[in-house]
Amino acid sequence: MEGELKPMDAEQLREYGHKMVDFIADYYKNIENFPVLSQVQPGYLRKLLPETAPTHSETLQDVLEDVQTKILPGVTHWQSPDYFAYFPSNSSVAGFLGEMLSAGINMVGFSWITSPAATELEMIVLDWLAKALKLPDEFLSTGQGGGVIQGTASEAVLVVILAARDKVLRRVGKDAISKLVVYCSDQTHSSLQKACQIGGIYPENFRVLKADPSRDYALSPDTLSEAVSHDMATGLIPFFFCATIGTTSSTAVDPLLELGKIAKVKSGESNSIWFHVDAAYAGSACICPEYRGYMNGVEEADSFNMNAHKWFLTNFDCSALWVKDRSALIQSLSTNPEYLKNKASQENLVVDYKDWQVPLGRRFRSLKLWMVLRLYGLEKLQAYIRNHIELAKLFEELVAQDKRFEIVTPRKFSLVCFRLLPPPSNEDYANKLNHDLLDSVNSTGKLFISHTLLSDRYILRFAVGAPLTEERHIVGAWKVLQDEAATLLSKC
């Protein structure tokens, strides 16, 4: 950019903004031509860029050329229709427009007064989404609870564990931190372990209960019940339990109703076990009546989380968290320095989301969720989810028809867990075989899948959920998997 610096000139924004829109639209037009998983080697970019920032300004043309030739080769294309790894992370036109608008307004919404619309729209759209999920009314902002957009499910579980920790420590004294016990299953996401590390929960009090393979890796209520009883008998203080709807490894669904009742009964009148439900991935499916049953028992929960940025067309990041008792969050996370005081906050007329989260500043993220809900509407969003589940079903059928493979756990949503069977009487070789299959498939660049371990078996995960994925991509991916498997098996 030549001449005087005009860093926010409206006409320059218009001119360059149009160029960037075209660049991004062209990216999506050609997205199938990229290797899905980036094939660069560690350290590739440092060789391509200068060692210091430029002294003088450069042109947008220069930068866009570098994006094309230096950055995009190092990108793993999560929006590619051939992306089936981890869980999806949806982009959409509506989500993208919402991000643009948020970046355009670029306000920092820590308190209501810093942009009332940001706080109020967030409360409203999270009430909308809560209603679409048929969450109990106690989670709505019109009562004692409410929703908040966190960056990620990690931050969601962290803030509720802090709220639960401080609630119990206020009762029993802060020296009792060494006695606080957290429960989850060995299928619970690692973000809970990290939240415990951050919150100072003693590692030996982080109970990872063995999920039940005969229940498709859901947690058995008896297991929880026994663990809680044992800990209480030895003088420890159970205070937090996390159940999952749609675990990361295999989309297992924990039985919320029974688990929640145990949490409530065991902790007695003081009701000190905070029950959190992590539906980061599968929560999106629960807007369809036929999947809402997986949420039965959520009325027992203290908090519920789903990531709109995963499978709900809302660009990253947008993790929706609801709590029944917002005061618990606020008591843990509020600060009230003089320089942020203002009439509306002091008079308790408003929500200040800074007190519901770890950071102070926050973006206007509700805009993109609002735009997704309005530009698509619930009916089409349900159709979107159902279509991916149909595509996953198709993939499952293709795998089932091939005797060289097996489906490892029954598919519940849009993830298929499967593996290549080793040659007869060579089960020890199975894990290496599937590891090699993963590597060879991902190295083709034609698709990207990921893996997990279930009962020590190395499993391939095929997660359908990218917005551009169609039947032809499923069929094509399966063909690549079959071809690479044949090559590997021929070498056995």
Q: Does 389 bind a second copy (CB under 8 A)?
A: no
Q: Does 9 bind a second copy (CB under 8 A)?
A: yes
Nearer to a second copy, 263 or 329 (CB): 329
The strand pairing partners of 322, in sequence order, are: 147, 304
Between 191 and 220, whose beta carbon lies closer to a second copy?
191
Judged by CB under 8 A, the stretch of 270-278, 375-383, 402-410, 423-431 that binds a second copy is 375-383
Collect all residues with Cβ–Cβ distance below 8 Å to 460 and sequence separation of at least 6: 417, 418, 419, 420, 434, 437, 438, 449, 450, 451
What is 172-205 written as a DSSP string? H-GGGGGGEEEEEETTS-HHHHHHHHHHT--GGG
Q: Which of 247, 263 has the CB closer to a second copy?
A: 247
Whether the ω angle into residue 428 lies within 30 degrees of 0, i.e. cis, is no
Contacts to a second copy from residues 432-451, by CB under 8 A = 439, 450-451
Residues 6+ apart with CB under 8 A from 167: 272, 274, 328, 331, 332
* Structural tokens at position 307: 């990531």
Region of 158-166, 261-269, 288-296, 482-490 interacting with a second copy (CB under 8 A): 158-166
Residue with tokens 């639960």: 164
User: Is residue 46 a contact point for a second copy (CB under 8 A)?
Assistant: yes
Binding span for a second copy by CB under 8 A among 64-72, 235-243, 265-273, 404-412: 64-72
When asked if residue 61 is in the footprint of a second copy (CB under 8 A), the reply is no
Least distance (Å) from a second copy to the CB of residue 401?
27
> Is position 378 an interface residue for a second copy (rule: CB under 8 A)?
yes
Paired sense of beta strands 450-454 and 457-463, if any: antiparallel
Please tell me whether residue 407 binds a second copy under the rule CB under 8 A. no
3-state secondary structure 382-438: HHHHHHHHHHHHHHHHHHHCCCCEEEEECCCCCEEEEEECCCCCCHHHHHHHHHHHH
User: For residue 318, what are the contacts with CB-CB under 8 A and spacing of at least 6?
Assistant: 149, 307, 308, 309, 365, 368, 369
Q: DSSP characters for 52-98?
A: S--SS---HHHHHHHIIIIIGGG---TTSTTB-SSS-----HHHHHH
Q: Identify the CA nearest to 458 among candidates 476, 432, 427.
A: 432
* Ranges within 124-143 binding a second copy (CB under 8 A): 124-125, 127-129, 131-132
- Select from 120-128, 235-243, 267-275, 394-402 the region that touches a second copy (CB under 8 A): 120-128
**Cα torsion for 244, 245, 248, 249, to the nearest 10°?**
100
Stretch 181-210 residues interacting with a second copy (CB under 8 A)? 189-191, 193-194, 197-200, 202
Instruction: Confirm if 209 and 223 have CB atoms less than 8 A apart.
Output: yes
Q: Is 55 in the site for a second copy (CB under 8 A)?
A: yes
Positions in 221-280 near a second copy (CB under 8 A): 248-249
**Which residues between 291 and 330 bind a second copy (CB under 8 A)?**
309, 313, 315-317
Check binding of 476 to a second copy (CB under 8 A).
no
**How many residues touch a second copy (CB under 8 A)?**
161
Nearest approach, Cβ of residue 264 and a second copy (Å)? 26
Closer by beta carbon to a second copy, 190 or else 490: 190
Minimum distance from CB of 48 to a second copy (Å)?
A: 9
The amino acid that residue 372 corresponds to is: V
Interface stretch with a second copy, choices 43-51, 254-262, 295-303, 471-479 (CB under 8 A): 43-51
Shortest distance in whole angstroms from residue 331 CB to a second copy: 10
For a second copy, which is the closer residue by CB, 263 or 318?
318
